[in-house]
Amino acid sequence: MKPTAGTRSGARVRYVSNPGVVPTPLPRPVEQMEGHVDVGNGHQIWYFDTGGAGSAIVMLHADTGSGLAWGYQQPAFSAHHRVIGYSRRGRRMSIMGDPQTPGIASEDLLRLADHLKLDRFHLLGTAAGGMIATDFTVSHEDRLLSLILANTIVGITNDDYQAIHTLIRPEEFASLPSDFKELGPSYRHLDVEGRKLWNEIADNAGIGSMKSQTFANKVTWDHLAAWKLPVLLVTGDADLYSPPSMMRLVASRIRGAENFLIPECGHSGYWERPDIFNRVVLDFIARQDHA
């Protein structure tokens, strides 16, 4: 079940043979350190850190999740890497401060990286976490070894890109159930228990009402074209937010970017197809570490 590679619009495109969705129980987590970082205005973000001698991977959760969403990645990644995840302001395990001062999410990430004395690290962001990862990369590319953007609309503000997303999702889309929008149809009926657990994490992700966090940059195509670090983009063939065509478009604007398509997968590749997702991410990071 080895991936094959091709070329599309100047970006490397990778595919994988498909065994279909197989219900996968959550593995037992490895030991981790946990703590809180003061990010201002009474807010403290919760984080976990497995430690270890390998290169560090920092993971940014989706808007429907929290730092507790990485149950399939924490043990798998920690075999070779220091694995770090956290809950953003207003999310489970973090401590809510002033809800009127939400701050800038990428600056909170910088505070966490400084607190943990991370020099350079791999950054993985899924969905809204990918938008924050993009914003962080524009501001602090020098802190990163590589960037993985998974199932995300990235946060590009150019009118042409925004217009396409308006065509993809009708106004009624926002009112649909989260698991319909973010889990693929194959997964929803083939892994009933996994769907239930995903919903439990999503339903309990928030700890209170808070203004939305803002971005440090107004990200444009020009920002992506200027990147020099290795970038991997991952999406699912049934992703309603970030369909394959949109991820190919984004990949074509990033020099040397790789684009991986996960079959029978919606907007939550890390959760729906962890067997494929983990293998692809770890392979990409290993190639960067040994380059």
pLDDT at 18: 72
Type of residue found at 190:
L
Give every CB contact of residue 232 below 8 A, 6+ residues apart in sequence.
146, 147, 148, 149, 257, 258, 259, 260, 280, 281, 284
pLDDT at 59: 98
Specify whether the backbone of 259 is left (phi greater than 0), alpha (psi in -120 to 50) or beta: beta
* Contact indicator for 238, 266 with CB cutoff of 8 Å: yes
Question: b vs e for 167-186, b when ≥16 Cβ sit within 10 Å of the residue's Cβ?
Answer: eeeeeeeeeeebbebbbbeb
Three-state secondary-structure class, residue 36: strand
Q: Name the band, by pLDDT with cuts 50, 70 and 90, for residue 291.
A: confident
pLDDT at 4 over 60: no
pLDDT digits 0-9 by tens, 112-153: 999 999 999 999 999 999 999 999 999 999 999 999 999 999
pLDDT at 14: 64
pLDDT at 11: 63
* Cα–Cα distance measured from residue 169 to residue 240, given in angstroms and rounded to the nearest whole number: 8
pLDDT at 10 over 60: no
> How large is the average pLDDT for residues 51-57?
95
Computed over every residue of the chain, the mean pLDDT equals 94
pLDDT at 15: 58
Three-state secondary-structure class, residue 204: coil
pLDDT at 9: 44
Q: Domains in the chain, please, with CATH?
A: 4-289 (3.40.50.1820)
pTM equals 0.93
pLDDT at 17 over 90: no
Cβ neighbours around 66 below 10 Å, total: 24
> How large is the average pLDDT for residues 273-283?
97
Percent of the chain clearing pLDDT 90 (strictly above): 91
> How large is the average pLDDT for residues 154-177?
95
Q: Name the band, by pLDDT with cuts 50, 70 and 90, for residue 62.
A: very high
Task: Report which secondary-structure segment, H or E, holds 186.
Answer: helix 185-190
Determine the straight-line distance between the first and last CA of the chain, rounded to whole angstroms. 24
